[in-house]
Amino acid sequence: MNNPNQIRIAITGPESTGKSTLTKQLAEAFNGQFIPEFAREYIEKLPHHYTFEDVEAIAKAQVEQYRLTRNSSGEIFFFDTWLIITKVWFTWVFQKMPEWLDLEIRSCPMDLFLLCRPDLPWEADPVRENGGENRLKLFELYLEELKYYGFNFVEIGGVEEERLSNAIAAVHDFIRCSKISAV
């Protein structure tokens, strides 16, 4: 059971859309806890190209990160990516996903998703695979998943300070509306 005084916000979206930077900035701006992206660290350490089993291990670690926040004294958590990305990745790369994943997505809810638009320039690195048109296709898949689950989300666009300002405004709006609806 989640602590009703805690808020969990996941930053999601295609590769190279500023998720990690934005997550850190939001955690700092709201004096919240930053939950780092597990997948990048895991994949960077692999001696081989990732497999279905590797992505499943990543998903399990993401669930564990979530569960640890339940017992934390923190009030607001900012997750650098979440299981929605992992689900889409399973289907994008392997055309299948573990049977248990859908249940975990539903049982580890986020209060708000910030879906980063692919409006930043692509920056290649050894872990990124999908630039160009694939970023747009993946954005649409993430959008479809958020709608499918009925999750509360806001699309975030803009460059540099504008992107951060848009994200801060979305979080402020969510907090304000949450307090009003809780009364």
CATH number at residue 75: 3.40.50.300
What is the per-residue pLDDT for 121? Answer: 85
Residue 1 is assigned to a structural domain of this protein = no
Percent of the chain with pLDDT over 90: 78
What is the per-residue pLDDT for 144? Answer: 98
pLDDT at 29 over 60: yes
pLDDT at 181 over 60: no
Query: Which helix or strand (DSSP H or E) is residue 163 part of?
Result: helix 161-182
What is the per-residue pLDDT for 122? Answer: 83
Residue 104 is assigned to a structural domain of this protein = yes
CA distance 94 to 171: 34
Report the pLDDT averaged over residues 121-129.
77
Query: Residue 153 pairs with which residues in a beta bridge?
Result: 113
Residue 63 is assigned to a structural domain of this protein = yes
- Which residue range is the domain that position 57 belongs to? 7-182
Q: Are 18 and 119 in contact (CB under 8 A)?
A: no
Lowest-pLDDT range, 30-34, 57-61, 74-78, 96-100? Answer: 74-78
What is the per-residue pLDDT for 141? Answer: 97
Residue 57 is assigned to a structural domain of this protein = yes
pLDDT tier at 128, thresholds 50, 70, 90 = confident
Residue 153 is assigned to a structural domain of this protein = yes
Prediction pTM value: 0.92
Residue 58 is assigned to a structural domain of this protein = yes
Pairing state between β 76-80 and 153-156: unpaired
Dihedral sign for Cα 139, 105, 35, 29, please.
positive
What is the per-residue pLDDT for 182? Answer: 43
pLDDT at 103 over 50: yes
Q: Which amino acid, one-letter code, is at 154?
A: V
Residue 56 is assigned to a structural domain of this protein = yes
Residue 2 is assigned to a structural domain of this protein = no
How many structural domains are present in the chain? 1
Report the pLDDT averaged over residues 75-92.
95
What is the per-residue pLDDT for 183? Answer: 34
Phi, psi for 59 (deg, rounded to 5) = -60, -45
| Contacting residues for 18 by C-beta, under 8 A, at least 6 apart | 116, 120, 163
Average pLDDT over all residues of the chain: 91
What is the per-residue pLDDT for 2? Answer: 61
pLDDT tens figures, 130-161: 777 889 999 999 999 999 999 999 999 998 89
What is the per-residue pLDDT for 123? Answer: 82
CA distance 73 to 63: 18
